[in-house]
A and B are shown apart, each in its own frame.
Chain A
Amino acid sequence: MRFGTLIKTLSAAAAFMAVAAAPAQAEEAGPVDSQSWTFTGPLGHYDERQLQRGLYIYQTRCQACHSLGLVRFSSLADLGWELLEGQTGEDVAKAIASNYEIPYINDDGENDTRPGVLNDTFPWALGNPKRATATYGKAPPDLSTMARSRIGGADYIYALLTGYDDAHEQPEGAYYNKVMPVIAMPNPWPADMSDFEYPDGTVPTLEQQSRDVTAFLNWAADPYLEARHKWGIVVVLYMLALTIISFFAYRIVAAQVHSRLEAEGGPEPDH
């Protein structure tokens, strides 16, 4: 079989796996349309302003019930803040952290809270799974890896956030969402959002807010995406260079070996 056949087979296999690996699970969910994000594609990167707005939405609309138990405040330092003279991103992250109360056991052995520090993760207002379950019947999930743990990723979260229809009749304690027809999570968006403003003046439409918080959650789940994409460019360029040069090296070695073979043959067979 020739090399071309091999490549064709390999890419057909890759294409097949890409299709087959998107399992039948999607059946349970409703339509998830794909959106355009800055972070998809070979050079995909985050829009830092968008992440800042997303953090703001997370703080206003999500964190009363949800947590980001794997996201350290220190990682907020890289969100591209507009810095004052002498200020660092770390200082901003520190300031954000100190607004949170982190539960701990104090020197007297009692439950207490202290201001957050860089190494802390976003706390859970509901405290722990038991209290969350007792309060809501079902614990609101931690959002740290949400964008990685649903098929469709960011598209799924966006579709869910924009998929509420409060006019739909539902049993007590359940809500209607076109992505998940019976959902325990209430609509995060109040009917009247006219008094809500973004600090940077962006017009806070429902879609805008959903996009921003989705981007933020994608960052929370995959904070080193940009580094990985840049790494990918370097590594793939290097590998292509190695592929090309090793191909020519192989060809010239092959030519030499073949000409010698014709003259004297290869090693003597064992048997």
Chain B
Amino acid sequence: MADTPNDVANPDRRNFLVLSTMTMAGIGAAAGGVGLIRTMTPTRDVAGGGVIEVSLEGISEGSGIIATAGRKKYSIRRRTAEEIAAAVADDASPMRDPQPDADRVKRPEWLVLRLQCPHLGCPPQGTAAGEKRGEYGGYFCPCHNSQFDTSGRIRKGPSPANLPVPKYFFASDDMIVIGKEA
């Protein structure tokens, strides 16, 4: 033991050593904690997932398909000229969540929506021709009767917002990529 009187009589040196030991040990423990929390972030096999390519071939006018990415559902609907016209004409109508149709589509013919009602998360019907589409000819949520128009905007019922438009882009004329921007 180097119990020289200097060591004892030097509280500055002691405080410095004690404090730096504590700080360093604390930093180590904190780094370990960060490492532990990091193991809870999405794993490498799911991170970067959620991006899907969807072929538009074979979708006839007035109908649509549901594409699935992970547990998420997307509605891809090929709108008729009348449906587009109705959506644009309603731009000026009073709405809960006003948004012009032009802001909700990249190409007017194709309507791409996340198929999840903003009210409580049910999947609205109306993608395929023949499904119940509600009073406005767009989408209808069977859970609580939310009615969406041909642009997916909320027109009647409890939903507080329009059906959300996901990130997507056209890779080619008959292929879209959902989940990221170009």
Contacts and interface: CB of A to CB of B under 8 A. Distances in A.
Interface of A: 72, 74, 118-119, 238-239, 241-242, 245-246, 248-249, 251-256, 258-259
Per DSSP, are chain B's interface residues mostly helix, strand or loop, or mixed? helix
B70 to A, nearest CB: 11
B49 A256 contact: no
B28 A242 contact: yes
B8 to A, nearest CB: 5
B24 interface: yes
B3 A254 contact: yes
A251 B24 contact: no
B45 A255 contact: no
A242 B45 contact: no
A245 B8 contact: no
Could you say which of B7, B25, B49 has the most chain A C-beta atoms within 10 Å of its C-beta? B7
B52 to A, nearest CB: 10
24 contacts: A72-B44, A72-B45, A74-B48, A118-B48, A238-B28, A239-B28, A242-B28, A245-B21, A245-B24, A246-B21, A246-B25, A249-B20, A251-B1, A252-B7, A252-B13, A252-B14, A252-B17, A252-B18, A253-B14, A253-B18, A254-B1, A254-B3, A255-B1, A255-B4
B18 A255 contact: no
A231 B9 CA distance: 40
Contacts of A246: 21, 24-25
B2 to A, nearest CB: 6
A249 B8 contact: no
Nearest to B44: A74
A144 B120 CA distance: 44
Interface string B5-29: 0011010011001101100110010
Interface of B: 1-4, 7-8, 10, 13-14, 17-18, 20-21, 24-25, 28, 44-45, 48-49
B1 A258 contact: yes
Residues of A contacting B: mostly = helix
Contact of B20 (A245, A251, A255): A245
A119 B49 contact: yes
Contact of A255 (B2, B21, B48): B2
B24 A259 contact: no
Contacts of B20: 245, 249
B18 A258 contact: no
Nearest to B14: A252
Contacts of B13: 252
Contacts of A253: 14, 18
A96 B59 CA distance: 31
A118 B8 CA distance: 64
A256 B4 CA distance: 10
A92 to B, nearest CB: 16
Given A74-B44, A245-B17, A255 B7 contact: yes
Contacts of A256: 7-8, 14
B21 A259 contact: no
Contact of A242 (B7, B10, B21): B21
Contacts of B44: 72, 74
A249 B17 contact: yes
B8 A242 contact: no
A258 B3 CA distance: 8
A241 B24 contact: yes
A12 B10 CA distance: 39
A253 B21 CA distance: 12
A242 B32 CA distance: 15
B47 to A, nearest CB: 10
B28 to A, nearest CB: 7
A86 to B, nearest CB: 14
